[in-house]
Structure 1
Amino acid sequence: MTEWTDSTAGDEAVAAFHDAFDRLAARVPGAYTRHGASGARLVCTTFPAATLNTVCAGHELDLGEVEGFAEELARTGVPWSIQVRGDVDPALRQVASRYGLTGEVSLPLLVWDARPLPGALSPSVTVRKVSGVESGVFASALAAGFGMPEDVANRLALPALLEAPGMSGYVLDLHGEAVATGFNILVGGHVGMFNGSVAPQHRGRGHYRALVTARLQDAVVSGARHAFVQTTPSSRPLYESLGFRLAETWTYLTSAG
């Protein structure tokens, strides 16, 4: 069952989330988004992750609109999903099953309002923005942190993304080595936080907390008054310790494989 704790904050964060993906898709070759008249959305980033290529069902469910987008996205050949805010309508589940989407993934959407944050980092670490000329550095740290292939990491570290207005890639340097990553997208008064990772051998030392804190501080300086993030179970307690709270939980209907 979906837990709704703050519907207004959720609606605002969702609008910013969609705006962020519109902007992202405009910078990635082959990626695109499409908006339906009844509120459904198609998001195709081309990245090989089902939650990053999705048909977002609107609050006012239009099964025909959803299925039209599903048919279109299925033809792309990328892993994909149908994403729902709230409980999954049985009729929508039937649509998903016709496309082999019989698996299910739930992700929380956490939101944050600007507030004082912890102070200085350890002298041994530095969090900094990376420019497009350092896309290789960012990609290598992403690949190490997520255990992803280098070619996928390179697509997430395109100079066109790192140099885009309102988009910022970050690395945490430990003794001159980039060991953690993050990517912010600033949309109006919101900042979306993506691609947070730490290389396995450097986990459990407070580096991720330092990275998230620095990214939030930088976003606030740039005008953000709210933040949103989708987290894994392992990182959620860290975000909550910094003041993030649950707005809602999203369900992604995915391929069982």
Structure 2
Amino acid sequence: MISSAAVDALDGAMERLTDFLPGAFTRQGPKGGRLVCTGLPVALLNTVRTGPGQDPRETGSLAEELSATGLPWSMQVRGEADPELTTLAARFGLTSTTRLPLLAWDAASLPGLPAALPADGTVRKLSGEDSGRYSAALAAGFGMPGEIADAFALPALLDAPGMTAFTLDVAGEAVATGFNVLVGGHVGMFNGSVPPRHRGNGYYRALVTARLRDAVASGARHAVTQNSPMSRPLYESLGFRLVETWTYLTPAG
């Protein structure tokens, strides 16, 4: 039940994001397959979800549709990919593997969160007027190209109801970023980053806890996120727990 709710919440958050990204769309197949196209040149952000036992014809049809966009894309599998899925993915050149955890958090953990910010830190909630500033902070934190950072910082996204971009500022500089998407009683947590020169100072932890508190104040009772091996221990120390692991079959290299 927890797994299903967390997956539905993440799906809902991605649907909301694609509503505001130019050319983006999602599609649900009648037999459970799912296509997400953000329009961004990042394989993990354009996916066909499938799994063991899924109808291979539907998966193949969705894969053909996403492949035809010319964007980098991946096949997303809840759990491990079986030989049939691996063979299908290989037909499209998806021969590398990445695994990401899906973590979930319950607001019952809220009293245990650290409350204090670093003495020199200020949390800011951004609007569309801050688009350029947020884009620059994302580019610095992730080391991503400016055009991708710009897409995540579109004014329409920053001003959308239930979506909030955050920075943690020190001496006027953004030293951590984050983006919350409210979906019913859940919040999806995205775009958490810290520039390399500011890591190890507790800024990321401080902003994650501030974002959770803000989401709960806005009505969320659960949070979901997918993150890297570097940030997963931090989230688990704040009460997040593993729901399931997803396998992404991605282009070679």
Q: Give the TM-score normalised by structure 1.
A: 0.95
Alignment match of 1:48 (pick from 41, 44, 49) = 41
1:195 corresponds to 2:191: yes
Matching residue of 1:14: 7
Question: Deviation string for 1:65-110 (max 9, x for gaps)?
Answer: 1110100111111110010112212111111010000111000011
Matching residue of 2:23: 30
Question: Deviation string for 1:117-171 (max 9, x for gaps)?
Answer: 2112122001121000000010000000000111111111001111111111001
Alignment match of 1:225 (pick from 197, 205, 221) = 221
Q: Give the TM-score normalised by structure 2.
A: 0.97
Identity percentage over the alignment? 63
| Bigger mean CA deviation after superposition, 186-195 or 49-58 | 49-58
Alignment match of 1:125 (pick from 121, 126, 141) = 121
How many Å apart are 1:216 and its aligned residue?
0.3
- SS of equivalent to 1:126: strand
- SS of equivalent to 1:14: helix
Give the letter aligned to residue 234 of structure 1: M
User: Contact 2:51 / 2:81 at 8 angstroms: preserved in 1?
Assistant: no
Give the alignment's Cα RMSD to 1 decimal.
Answer: 1.0
Question: Deviation string for 1:44-72 (max 9, x for gaps)?
Answer: 00122111100011575011111101001
Once residues 11 and 48 of structure 1 are traced to their aligned partners in structure 2, the CA distance between those partners, rounded to angstroms, is 29
Alignment match of 1:178 (pick from 157, 169, 174) = 174
Once residues 160 and 85 of structure 1 are traced to their aligned partners in structure 2, the CA distance between those partners, rounded to angstroms, is 31
1:247 corresponds to 2:243: yes
| Bigger mean CA deviation after superposition, 82-91 or 103-112 | 82-91
Give the letter aligned to residue 125 of structure 1: G
User: Contact 1:108 / 1:250 at 8 angstroms: preserved in 2?
Assistant: yes
Where does structure 1 differ by over 2 angstroms across 4 or more consecutive aligned residues? Answer: none
Alignment match of 1:66 (pick from 50, 59, 72) = 59
Give the letter aligned to residue 242 of structure 1: L
Once residues 226 and 56 of structure 2 are traced to their aligned partners in structure 1, the CA distance between those partners, rounded to angstroms, is 26
Aligned positions of 1:55-94 closer than 5 A: 55-57=48-50, 60-94=53-87
How many Å apart are 1:230 and its aligned residue?
0.7
- SS of equivalent to 1:123: coil
Once residues 48 and 227 of structure 1 are traced to their aligned partners in structure 2, the CA distance between those partners, rounded to angstroms, is 27
Uncovered stretches (5+) of structure 2, i.e. residues with no partner: none
1:108 corresponds to 2:101: yes
Once residues 217 and 59 of structure 1 are traced to their aligned partners in structure 2, the CA distance between those partners, rounded to angstroms, is 37
User: Contact 2:181 / 2:188 at 8 angstroms: preserved in 1?
Assistant: yes
How many Å apart are 1:231 and its aligned residue?
1.2
- Number of residue pairs matched by the alignment: 250
Once residues 100 and 74 of structure 2 are traced to their aligned partners in structure 1, the CA distance between those partners, rounded to angstroms, is 13
- SS of equivalent to 1:110: strand
Uncovered stretches (5+) of structure 1, i.e. residues with no partner: 1-7
